Structure 1
Amino acid sequence: MENESINPILETQNLEFTYSYEDGISNKVLNGINLKVPSGQFLAILGRNGSGKSTLAKHFNAVLLPTGGKAYALGIDTSDETRTYDIRQNVGMVFQNPDNQIVATIVEEDVAFALENLGVPPEEIRRRVDEALNAVGMYEYRNHAPHQLSGGQKQRVAIAGIIAMKPKCIVLDEPTAMLDPRGRREVIETIMKLNRDEKITIVLITHFMDEAVRADRVVVIDHGNILLDGAPRSVFSNVAMLKSIGLDVPQAAELLYELNKSGEKLPLDVLTAEECIDALATLLEESHCRKIR
């Protein structure tokens, strides 16, 4: 297998995808996407509904296959159906609704489900299940029934089931869309811990700006094209552009953007409330100094 320190763990080359329907109507969703995701990166992909972000995500582990161009996972062409198993062992997918991913009546049995189907020895299953549940902070719930858990806890169990497979990358397609704020926080903290401690590459599809700001890199997709690609601070400084395509921006950046409309000259590359306060404090100090003069 190719050296992952040199080659990206995920890559698309002029990737196109068109949905075709029985009535002859077709809908082109991706228009020549070129993207490389290095091993160990935490990438957030943003876009409004219908932008193509979820369609792109499904190409990373061969849920969908390109209708034009190429998609690669760990250097493997996803169109090579003889390698689909290899791809899905290394690139796990987590979807919006955890109820659609949980298949067993006991938490630890659900996490073990895929391993049992692969014929992994029982002692190895036990070790991997315990490690995975500890990694997502759900070990103490190992004997609980999944239906008794909160939405955030269920999603963490679903993530544990993926972790137990020992993937190199996890793609999460709006995993917090159906969760309350507490559940969202639990899942995002889990994702960040896996990226930081386990060095698992993370691709997070989201429309929550406060989730995206915590990533290493943000890609914005609109109408099947990459519109912006860079560090969160750089991407979210494009307030007017993001608002023009129907996306929100971090509250701190939006506040300063609105103040600038009244003639102020505040920086827009701010992500947190603390940075916003610092910028406003500097503005007030400069204004005070001008009055003294």
Structure 2
Amino acid sequence: MEKLIAAEHLSFHYTDEEGKPASPEILKDLTLTLEAGSFVAVLGHNGCGKSTLAKHMNAILLPTGGKMWIAGIDTCDEEKLYEIRQHVGMVFQNPDNQIVATIVEEDVAFGPENLGLPPETIRERVDDALKAVGMYEYRMHAPNQLSGGQKQRIAIAGIIAMRPSCIVLDEPTAMLDPKGRMEVMKTIRMLNRSYGITIVLITHYMEEAAQADRVIVMDDGNILLDDRPEEVFSHVEQMKAIGLDVPQVTELVYELRQQGIPLDSHIISEDAGVEAILQNMA
């Protein structure tokens, strides 16, 4: 598969006005490759470096050591910053911080207008983006009249309208209720599967991470685990040791295995858990 994002011995610390270190190292000699079209979840407790890594993917932050490459472009190349941000769009935790207009369709048009696209292209992209996130019927609404989940989908539509190769979402469901979280996750899965957009999802919700193709667990600026979700979440004790949970069904399977019941430790979905327990009882 095509390599879209690559970090090579990436390190980062904040610096003062003189360029001297003003914080401990937040990322430590981190090497990572993300393929085009993949759906990757990034987990870790607060302060582990996951949001800092996300900001390197969009060149909001630049390495203090090593390199970050986006579609083969060195993020430290200032002349290519515009091109990098066309490849990678960012969606943050609070949709209110990303909504800039008083009408939904005007907000979604903001990015394409800044790209200097012709009006007919902007119109087409806005309509396509709103349909993609299931918000076309709300195009003439005021964003402040929408629910949190709807606002976040509008923020995602604004990124989609710029046609990026990759969308990095930094805890996009953290401020939403369960219905809003479900809406946004459905949209994210659809963008990956139907449109082939690379997804990097930073989340605290293990059930969300379980929907990804790959899970990266960070701890203290390093990558601790990096594998399929079934494999990552089978390391229950290691996850708990760094203050992280696993999906509830995985936790149940772990507890049953501790009681001597022979269940597969790689179960991460409720359906698979129910099936395995019923088979064991038969």
Q: Does 1:50 align with 2:47?
A: yes
Alpha carbons 2:130, 2:154 under 8 Å: kept:
yes
Provide the residue aligned with 1:119 in structure 2: 116
Match among 180, 183, 186 for residue 183 of structure 1: 180
Q: Does 1:98 align with 2:95?
A: yes
The unaligned stretches of length 5 or more in structure 2 are none
User: Using the alignment, how far apart are the partners of 1:228 and 1:31 within structure 2?
Assistant: 15
Provide the residue aligned with 2:8 in structure 1: 13
Instruction: Work out the number of aligned pairs and report it.
Output: 280
- How far did 1:21 drift? 5.3
* Pairing 1:135-146 to 2, within 5 Å after superposition: 135-146=132-143
The unaligned stretches of length 5 or more in structure 1 are 286-293
4+ residue segments displaced more than 6 Å: none
Alpha carbons 2:191, 2:197 under 8 Å: kept:
yes
Of all paired residues, the percent bearing the same amino acid is 62
- DSSP-derived class of the 1:86 partner: helix
The alignment's TM-score, normalised by the length of structure 2, stands at 0.96
Alpha carbons 1:112, 1:125 under 8 Å: kept:
yes
- DSSP-derived class of the 1:258 partner: helix
Write the letter of the residue equivalent to 1:11. A
Provide the residue aligned with 2:35 in structure 1: 38
- DSSP-derived class of the 1:87 partner: helix
- DSSP-derived class of the 1:28 partner: coil
Cα deviation, 1:49-97, whole Å, max 9, x if unaligned, reads 1111110011001010001010010010001111000000111000000
User: Using the alignment, how far apart are the partners of 2:189 and 2:239 within structure 1?
Assistant: 25
Provide the residue aligned with 2:232 in structure 1: 235
Q: Does 1:128 align with 2:125?
A: yes
* Pairing 1:195-214 to 2, within 5 Å after superposition: 195-214=192-211
- How far did 1:272 drift? 1.2
If you compute each CA radius of gyration, which structure gives the higher value, 1 or 2?
Answer: 1
Alpha carbons 1:20, 1:27 under 8 Å: kept:
no
Provide the residue aligned with 2:252 in structure 1: 255
User: Using the alignment, how far apart are the partners of 1:183 and 1:45 within structure 2?
Assistant: 20
Q: Does 1:216 align with 2:213?
A: yes
- DSSP-derived class of the 2:268 partner: coil
Provide the residue aligned with 2:276 in structure 1: 279
User: Using the alignment, how far apart are the partners of 2:199 and 2:262 within structure 1?
Assistant: 36
- How far did 1:268 drift? 1.3
Q: Tell me how large the CA RMSD over aligned residues is.
A: 1.4
The alignment's TM-score, normalised by the length of structure 1, stands at 0.93
Write the letter of the residue equivalent to 1:120. L
